[in-house]
Structure 1
Amino acid sequence: MVDSFDLGDIVEMKKQHPCGSKEFEVIRLGADIKIKCTGCARIIMLPRSKFQKDAKKIIKM
C-alpha cells in the first residue's frame, strides 16, 4: 500500500495492464487518481482508495 505519491511518480501496481506492463505514471491527483501505462500510454482513472490499495511501490520519484 502506497500512502504518499506525487505527480510524475512511476508506480508499480499489483495487477498488470493487458499490454503486459505493471508500471504506471501518476498524471493527475485528487479524489480520483489518473495514471498512464508506461508500456502503451493508455490512461486509467481510479478512485484514490483503490489506487492506494493496488499500488505496490513507487519506482521513480
Structure 2
Amino acid sequence: MIEKEFHLGDYVVMKKPHPCGTNEWEIIRMGMDIRIKCRNCGRSVLMQRRDFEKMLKKVVQSKDAAQ
C-alpha cells in the first residue's frame, strides 16, 4: 500500500463531504488520531489515522508550499 504524504497544517479533500456542504479540511492535530477542521463552518472532527488515510482523497495545499 502506498502511504499518502500529509502534514500538520495541510489542506486536504476528503471523499465524503461535511454536512455543511464542503469536503475541504485543515489538519490541526496529528498523532495516533488526526483532528481535522472544516474550512467552511470551522467544526472539527477527530478520527483514527487508519480511517483518515482511507477517506483522504488528495492534499490540496501543503503548509510547506504556502510559505
Identity of aligned residues (%): 48
Higher relative contact order (CA 8 A, sep 6+): 1
Q: Which residue of 1 aligns with 2:28?
A: 27
The TM-score with structure 2 as length reference comes to 0.87
| Deviation for aligned residue 1:35 | 0.2
Matched pairs, number? 61
User: Unaligned 5+ residue runs, structure 1?
Assistant: none
Deviations 1:32-56 (A, max 9, x none): 0000000100010000000000000
Q: Which has the larger radius of gyration?
A: 2
Q: As a proportion of its length, which structure holds more helix? A: 2
Q: Which runs of 4+ in 1 moved over 4 A?
A: none
| Length-normalised TM-score, structure 1 | 0.95
Once superposed, what is the RMSD of the aligned Cα atoms?
A: 1.3
- Structure 2, unmatched stretches of 5+, are 63-67
After superposition, give the CA deviation of every residue in 1:5-61 in whole Å (9 maximum; x if it has no partner).
111100000000000010000000000000000010001000000000000000000
